[in-house]
Amino acid sequence: MEIQGKSFIVTGGASGLGEGTARMLAANGGKVVIADMNEERGQQVAQEIGGVFVKANVADEADGRKVVEAALGLGKLMGLVNCAGIAPAEKIVGKKGPHSLELFQKVITVNLIGSFNMMRLAAEAMSANEPEATGERGVMISTASVAAFEGQIGQVAYSASKGGVVGMTLPIARDLARTGIRNMTIAPGIMGTPMLFGMPQEVQDSLAAMVPFPSRLGRPEDFAKLAKHIIENDLLNGEVIRLDGAIRMGMK
């Protein structure tokens, strides 16, 4: 599949991994819709890359449909990259009592239900496409985390949500195989995102030192490079790819 001239949706595209992916797609001739709750930053990034911004709660059906409609307005919708997500930390039982049920539900709603909502709506639109020469009608990429496999202390909600994203990968690929829509997931390790850059430098350095090789934080462009390869390589389907420098997370 060629990116040039195609329409793509990037959720969480106002910052971090999503922003890096949106910029990569635009640099390669893609038409990008950024879906995010951060209106000011989302508008700025969209303007810089010649894309469109839609303020959207990815877990809301009406908002999701608005995002898809905006993408269809740009051309043939051929890709969705799910990067929207949150990562609060709380133990199942802490000093203040049991894990907040409201917080657990929120993390599942944004990270898992939000990803599924956008996938089902984008896949519906893509299924109407004329197939490419490869037989493809589209490709979807979701963002999990190494926490799906090695969740640390305080990551029960986050790990559950990302484990759900991993668990959806193969069955959705199988559901859509006859339609010609591929489905993949990237599981990043320790990535240099705005949330992490808000931590003290010594904490950032300590986290980077945990990565066997290369011993550095992952960058949005690392994620974007892999997303580009997935989009262009039609044999990649139904798989989760770790992007982590060989790190395996400890308890904390």
Q: Which residues are catalytic?
A: 158
The helix (run of H) or strand (run of E) holding residue 10 is: strand 7-11
Are the CB atoms for 161 and 88 separated by under 8 Å? Answer: no
Distance, CA of 233 to CA of 126 (rounded, Å): 18
Cis peptide before 214 (omega within 30 of 0): yes
The token pair that represents 230 in the structure block = 């997935």
Alpha helices by DSSP H, listed for 83-183, are 101-107, 114-126, 156-176
CA–CA distance, 154 with 13 (Å, rounded to integer): 26
What are residue 141's DSSP bridge partners?
Answer: 81, 184
Helix axes 220-232, 16-27, angle to 10 degrees: 50
Q: Which residues, 6+ apart, have CB-to-CB distance to 94 below 8 Å?
A: none
